[in-house]
């Protein structure tokens, strides 16, 4: 199919602001990016969004029910980019459901296409603000894990307040995790890695699985952002914490 960009609109989703901003004026860790989208990505959204797309509109959600009557243990992934690593992890672990959250329309379409092409049934693509999902939509102890791979490091000091991994964010996450659930973060920005380690180590209910940073786990595929960071000589840090 042609990769020529198109301006196709999506009346059934993903919505530009699924939660209607909910009257909030808080600082966010992201900017919504509709972006230029290829015909293949647009076609995947038009064909698959109704079945595999989830709008983060603030309505209560049973994450296991997204994956059929039998349900699956569910991991939330925040910020999946183009979704290549997400699809690879889903293929390697079909017994885990991945609720992948992003606001980048081309990436949403790409991940849907990857999942469809590989016959994956354990991926759902969520559109909107992950804080709305964690704060308003999920019941306690409903998640088997949370992943945040290469979130925006917001390197300027005045922007550090926009970083995703903060005490207030983990206060939302921790009650949603089942005992034994894993929080897995990765970054190639060392000052952010140090902050992540400090914040995660101080979070009540989370226990570091290693003494400091974790060795890079084989089950986490290389992401586009990781390759870019490695090409620049950056050091990649993984952090693996378990819910007590």
d(CA 235, CA 190): 7
Contact present, 22 and 132 (Cβ < 8 Å): yes
Q: Rounded to the nearest 5°, which phi and psi values hold at 146?
A: -140, 135
3-state helix, strand, coil in the chain (%, to 5): 35, 20, 40
Distance, CA of 177 to CA of 207 (rounded, Å) = 13
Euclidean distance between CA atoms 208 and 66, whole angstroms: 30
Region for residue 23 given its phi and psi (left: phi exceeds 0; alpha: psi -120 to 50; beta: otherwise): left
Determine phi and psi for 17, rounding to 5 degrees.
-150, 80
Query: For residue 95, which of 135, 37, 46, 145 has the smallest C-alpha distance?
Result: 145
Q: Choose the catalytic residue: 17, 93, 136, 152.
A: 152
Strand ranges in the chain using DSSP code E only, listed in sequence order: 5-6, 37-38, 53-55, 74-78, 97-102, 123-127, 143-149, 177-187, 206-208, 237-243
Is 152 among the catalytic positions? yes
DSSP state of 141: T
Active site residue ranges: 152
């Amino acid at each position: 199919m042609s990769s020529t960009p198109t301006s196709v609109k999506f009346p059934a989703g993903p919505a530009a602001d699924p939660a209607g901003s909910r009257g909030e004026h808080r600082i966010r860790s992201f900017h919504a990016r509709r972006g230029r989208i290829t015909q293949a990505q647009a076609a995947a959204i038009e064909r698959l969004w109704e079945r595999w797309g989830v709008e983060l509109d603030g309505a209560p959600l049973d994450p296991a029910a997204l994956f059929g009557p039998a349900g699956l243990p569910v991991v939330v992934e925040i910020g999946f980019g183009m979704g290549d690593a997400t699809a690879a992890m889903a293929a390697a672990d079909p017994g885990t459901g991945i609720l992948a959250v992003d606001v980048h329309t081309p990436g949403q379409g790409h991940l849907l296409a990857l999942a469809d092409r590989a016959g994956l049934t354990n991926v759902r693509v969520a559109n909107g603000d992950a804080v709305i999902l964690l704060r308003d939509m999920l019941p306690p102890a409903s998640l088997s894990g949370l992943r945040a791979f290469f979130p925006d490091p917001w390197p300027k000091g005045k922007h550090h307040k926009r970083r995703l991994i903060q005490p207030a964010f983990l206060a939302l996450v921790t009650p949603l995790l089942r005992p034994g659930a894993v929080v897995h973060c990765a970054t190639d920005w060392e000052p952010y890695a140090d902050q992540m380690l400090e914040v995660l180590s101080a979070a009540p209910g989370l226990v570091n699985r290693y003494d400091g940073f974790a060795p890079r786990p084989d089950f986490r595929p290389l992401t586009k952002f990781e390759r870019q960071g490695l090409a620049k000589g950056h050091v990649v840090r993984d952090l693996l914490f378990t819910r007590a």
